[in-house]
Amino acid sequence: VISHPKYQGSQRIAIFLSMPDEIQTEEIINDIFKQGKECFIPRYKPHCNHMDMLKLSSAEDISSLTLTSWNILQPSDDDSAREEALAGGGLDLIFMPGLGFDKKGNRLGRGKGYYDTYLERCIKHPSGKPYTIALAFREQICESVPVAENDVQVDEILYEDC
């Protein structure tokens, strides 16, 4: 991931904070800060499919986040001091999680459409749609995954042996 040309050429990067069953992103987050890039993480709104990408000030900033009912660390709802990526310069790259992927770039998420909805907002932003890379285990690559009309394909899927 760290040697990937899209990562190397990106300044404003959104990345998920890993759940135990996902590719662990801690080393990538540490490298984002080490290279002087800007790091944004998701804040999900429960009971709807709205998500924002909020700026982290450092890798250590993660310890100040609150744990949601889904067991995900994220900025609290009353945390209004953080920059939202689309309120600023947009994003260059988004690393995306998922449950399953196919080689056509289709992604099976957790069913709420957070990333699809967010990417639709990115497309309307002056900086345009960022490049998207899904991080997966080889076992998550399927022949095909079910897709809906509003699903947005990922640009690339990185997994072991790809």
Q: What is the reported pTM?
A: 0.94
Binding residues for substrate are: 17, 22
Spell out the alpha helix ranges (H) of the chain: 5-8, 26-34, 114-124
Half-sphere exposure of 52 (CA within 13 A, CB side): 18
Binding residues are: 17, 22, 107-115
Which domains are seen in the chain, by residue range? 5-158 (3.40.50.10420)
Half-sphere exposure of 70 (CA within 13 A, CB side): 14
Query: pLDDT digits over 145-154, tens only?
Result: 998 888 899 9
Q: By CB neighbour count within 10 A (0-12 exposed, 13-18 middle, 19+ buried), where does 132 fall?
A: buried
Binding residues for ATP are: 107-115
Query: pLDDT digits over 71-99, tens only?
Result: 888 998 888 889 999 998 999 999 999 99
Contact status, residue 95 vs residue 133, Cβ threshold 8 Å = yes
